[in-house]
Structure 1
């Protein structure tokens, strides 16, 4: 596994409806009943309507490209997603879409990039990103431009949910200081050349992408 797009390809090839991250740590049904999320869930009888008590989805904020130096627009609940985490996510998708090495380096820890390249057939970050873009074209059907990232939920830190990511970080970035780790349900909209429509990766993959973001030594990184 190199990035969550690789896992998405394997999942779609097997026609399995599940998350396209490395490991699906929560099924859609379990997420829907999670009281820490509003999306698709039933509200408990003692549910508070005060914003500070509302679960994910109680407040949404849209950031345009350029806000907070984000290279892409993003919709999220700012009570749960930090600006630094949003920066990592927007830079990640922007880097894949535009094969932009500098954005890639902002989104992924340098030691993790080095580890991934050393364990792949690619010798440079540009080759790696070129391959990811070409892989995505198999699902979009043509060249594409990402429009917006939508973070539709934060998954609970259930037992074993982060085990694979923890092991990856321990191997690639030994001795680092992890101050937080979160798993987000992510969708991305995109358009095609000479096409006025708007499309969703979620529907192309069959489910949300579950993406892990770790804050390491004071900076948020996509772990993939």
Structure 2
């Protein structure tokens, strides 16, 4: 788990220190290229098909509120690319990081990977591990926070080597596991101060970039790989 947030440390050192803690999640929009594999914030080429089934990620967004599909958090995603099961993995993952809920943790991360992470950490229980992750995130949010929404704003191309580190991690944690699909998503999460100040904030703006989060389907179930 810690890898996702370690990855952002260099970005934070260079950029996030200049970002005000009062930046709202609606403060600005991102600008992506017109890559036909990702429409989030970008434009389509003139010759590109406007038929929905032909449009890349971002051609359709759907908002699921907390409780729909048993999601513990709300999520915005393109349902043509993100499955219901992948949405469950993502929402349970961030809910677990936020609340220390071990049941949500076990729903979102492969059991062999959880075991591997615990064996290679200073923590002896899942709850201790999640509490440690929460404290790490507080270094970036600057406050006791509550997650509101997960936003899946794009799916990255399956370029050569994109999944190499995740593959190695799973091969180490669960040799021979049956992986049937792999996706790498551009993810943001909104949150508010537990002492509600009426504002909504964004991890993306605190980090200076999206989190790239891999979701693998293993033995028919989607898991966050981190």
**TM-score (normalizing by structure 1):** 0.90
Q: CA deviation at 1:68?
A: 0.5
Identify the residue that residue 25 of structure 2 maps to in structure 1: none
Residue 54 (str. 1) matches residue 55 (str. 2): yes
Q: CA deviation at 1:47?
A: 1.0
1:74-223 correspondence to structure 2 within 5 Å:
74-192=75-193, 193-223=195-225
Identify the residue that residue 24 of structure 2 maps to in structure 1: none
Contact 2:11 2:208 in 1 (8 A): no
**TM-score (normalizing by structure 2):** 0.89
Question: In structure 1, what is the Cα distance between the partners aligned to 2:15 and 2:148?
Answer: 26
Identify the residue that residue 23 of structure 2 maps to in structure 1: none
Contact 2:73 2:91 in 1 (8 A): yes
Query: How many corresponding residue pairs?
Result: 213
Contact 1:2 1:116 in 2 (8 A): no
CA 1:190–1:126 in structure 2 vs 1: closer, same or farther (change >3 Å)?
same
1:23-38 correspondence to structure 2 within 5 Å:
32-38=33-39
Q: CA deviation at 1:194?
A: 2.5
Question: In structure 2, what is the Cα distance between the partners aligned to 1:197 and 1:136?
Answer: 18
Q: CA deviation at 1:43?
A: 1.6
Q: 5+ unaligned residues in a row in structure 2: which ranges?
A: 17-29
Contact 1:59 1:78 in 2 (8 A): yes
Contact 1:60 1:75 in 2 (8 A): yes
Q: Deviations over 1:129-171 (max 9, x none)?
A: 1111011111111101111000000000000010000010111
Question: Secondary structure of the residue that 2:215 maps to in structure 1?
Answer: strand
Q: Deviations over 1:183-207 (max 9, x none)?
A: 0000000010221001000000000
Please list every run of at least 4 consecutive aligned residues from structure 1 whose deviation after the TM superposition is greater than 3 angstroms: 13-16
